[in-house]
Amino acid sequence: MQSTAKNKASLAANFTPDRIKTEVLSGLTVALALVPEAVAFAFVAHVHPLVGLYAAFIVGLVTALFGGRPGMISGATGALAVVMVSLVVTHGVEYLFATVILMGIIQVLAGIARLGKFIRMVPYPVMLGFVNGLAIVIFLAQLGQFKVKDAEGALHWMAGEQLFLMLGLVGLTMALIVLSGKFIKFLPAPLVGILAISGIVIGLDLDVRTVGDMASIAGGLPDFHIPSVPFNLETFGIILPYALILAAIGLIESLLTLNLVAEITETKGGASQECAAQGAANIITGFFGGMGGCAMIGQSMINVESGGRTRLSGTSAALFLLIFILFASGLIEQIPLAALVGVMFMVVIATFAWSSLRIMHKIPKSDAFVLVLVSGVTVASDLAKAVVVGVIVAALVFAWKSSTRIVARVEQDAKGRKVYRLSGPLFFGSVESFNELFDPKTDPDRVIVDFAETRVLDHSGLQAIDALADRYKRADRTLRLVHLSSDCKALLKKAGTMVKASHEEDPIYGVAVDYGEQLSKSASW
């Protein structure tokens, strides 16, 4: 109780006027960067821009208040939007709202079941690949801002003066962020860049693309709305596959972002709490006309780099976004896209794990392959597939390496018994190597297999032991297994009658807990 009180007192003490200012300004910076992202992802999903903005507001607010990682930013994301396209095109936006609600329910159940802890199964090379791949995706997404529509409505790359002006403003934004980060401490560096470039563009009346050129962000408060879909099994069959995919993508991206932010800020985050908060946010979003969302690594990095560390920054970002929609759409629509692109380019530089390039030739080739593979799949497909592929490949590599680690030191004792002292794990991957260690036909009449330095990890290992005993029995040899571990005994119990586990003397096939004890009991064996 005293520790809890101290923590609360410490937290309250941390909210000084300077800290509050930093958190609120960080939230403002994030909100400005959220606007074009939410609008762009709404276009990707073929829904109205306000559907994306409402999702960014509701998901961002709920997760900021109740999520497992204070300071992490959530909202509408491209990873989810690309999955939603076919559903919206085929069945309409009302089915999307129903899907988002079901997606949220699945995520809440994942949080209740504490499935978030399984994110620890993601190997570090996969994490690096995820970070690098996502940085590349963010970079490629910004290139769309360098395209304009011609008279016929077709997109083409900027050229000439228009391109040079865009590049100049983007470069100037990046330079201002770097310089202001060194010399200006009272404002977040990205906010300084956005305000300065906006002032230059408006003051000089430069002809550049602005947020308003993408879409109008003016709107009212989101209304409660039950999705207009038939409540039957047919509807459930349509939305369930999409909900499962969206829930998986959302949780994977959120939990990986949580780990990344926790590592940068050297703090801990609650994975299962984040799952439940994301789910609750999506349920609410579905009932208020939003497209759903999850953690956003780009905006989370902006928040962290701007000094946001508590729930206040994420809450401020969501509330500022709502203020933009309700009251300040005219001002926000004047912000040049070049300034926001410059901010996102700085996010790319901060997100990419540049150290991975330096250590590529030093780490095992298998880890380097997994890193590059995950980055490539992230760029070519989506984050969820990349992480799943990376985990599977890393697991297979581990299994392959472990399969060659089971070895045996072969000895012969004074009584002429051949002793195999095993070392290494016995599981499905090492069964073949295990079988090759023994030759019942040429072995002496009495053989001991000592498991003191090995462990039986799965059913395949048990089956291999049973098959070995059968081989020695058919060769008319006597086999004794000793030093089987307690976890192995538990597996043997689960295996039923496949292998008999007993403390009693069994000259043909027995399992002994203590090698010395068994030998003393059967000195004549």
Report yes or no: 424 and 456 within 8 Å, Cβ to Cβ: no
**Is 388 inside a domain boundary?**
no
Do 414 and 503 fall within a single domain? yes
Do 249 and 322 fall within a single domain? yes
Question: How far is 338 from 175, CA to CA, in rounded Å?
Answer: 13
Structural domain range at position 231 = 20-147+158-361
Question: How far is 297 from 299, CA to CA, in rounded Å?
Answer: 6
pLDDT for residue 523: 41
**Is 310 inside a domain boundary?**
yes
Helix 189-204, helix 17-44: angle, nearest 10: 60
Do 357 and 452 fall within a single domain? no
**Is 370 inside a domain boundary?**
no
Question: How far is 15 from 496, CA to CA, in rounded Å?
Answer: 60
DSSP at 336? B
10 Å CB burial of residue 245 (0-12, 13-18, 19+) is: middle
Instruction: Report the relative pairing of strands 147-149 and 155-157 from DSSP bridges.
Output: antiparallel
**Is 57 inside a domain boundary?**
yes
In Å, how far are 420, 435, 460 from 428, measured between CA atoms?
Answer: 20, 12, 5
Q: What's the chain's Rg over C-alpha atoms? A: 30
Do 311 and 409 fall within a single domain? no
Q: Tally the C-alpha atoms within 13 A of residue 524's C-alpha that lie toward its C-beta.
A: 1
Q: Tally the C-alpha atoms within 13 A of residue 471's C-alpha that lie toward its C-beta.
A: 16
- The tens place of each residue's pLDDT in the chain, 525 residues long, gives 444 444 444 444 467 888 999 999 999 999 998 998 898 888 888 899 999 999 999 999 999 999 998 989 999 988 888 889 889 999 999 999 999 999 999 999 999 999 888 887 888 888 888 889 888 888 888 888 898 887 777 888 999 999 999 999 999 999 999 998 888 878 888 999 999 999 999 999 999 999 998 888 999 999 999 999 999 999 999 999 999 989 988 998 899 889 888 888 777 778 999 999 999 999 999 999 999 999 998 899 899 988 898 999 999 999 999 999 999 999 999 999 999 999 889 888 988 888 888 888 888 888 899 999 999 998 887 777 888 899 899 888 888 877 777 889 999 888 888 999 998 888 888 888 899 999 898 899 888 888 888 888 887 887 888 788 888 888 888 888 787 766 665 655 543 333 334 343 333 333 333 334 444 444 444
Question: How far is 96 from 80, CA to CA, in rounded Å?
Answer: 11
**Is 384 inside a domain boundary?**
no
| CATH code, domain carrying 461 | 3.30.750.24
- Closest by alpha carbon to 363, among 135, 129, 133, 125? 125
Which of 295, 327, 361 corresponds to the end of one domain? 361
Question: How far is 397 from 359, CA to CA, in rounded Å?
Answer: 19
Angle at the Cα of 355 from the Cα atoms of 80 and 366, rounded to 5 degrees = 75
DSSP at 120? G
- Closest by alpha carbon to 48, among 214, 188, 165? 214
pLDDT for residue 489: 59
Tally of domains within the chain: 2
Do 356 and 483 fall within a single domain? no
The residue whose two tokens read 């001002």 is: 331
Do 410 and 354 fall within a single domain? no
Give a three-class secondary structure readout of 49-110: HHHHHHHHHHHHHHHHHHCCCCCCCEECCHHHHHHHHHHHHHHCHHHHHHHHHHHHHHHHHH
**Is 217 inside a domain boundary?**
yes
Do 120 and 250 fall within a single domain? yes
Number of helices (H), then strands (E), belonging to the chain: the values are: 22, 9
Do 355 and 410 fall within a single domain? no
**Is 478 inside a domain boundary?**
yes
Instruction: Give the pair of three-digit tokens for residue 322.
Output: 């709502």
Which of 309, 328, 361 corresponds to the end of one domain? 361
Do 171 and 295 fall within a single domain? yes
Do 288 and 225 fall within a single domain? yes
Which of 361, 387, 417 corresponds to the end of one domain? 361
Question: How far is 157 from 163, CA to CA, in rounded Å?
Answer: 8
Do 355 and 411 fall within a single domain? no
Segment holding 482, helix H or strand E = strand 478-482
10 Å CB burial of residue 524 (0-12, 13-18, 19+) is: exposed
pLDDT for residue 323: 96
**Is 393 inside a domain boundary?**
no
Instruction: Give the pair of three-digit tokens for residue 241.
Output: 């596959």
Do 195 and 320 fall within a single domain? yes
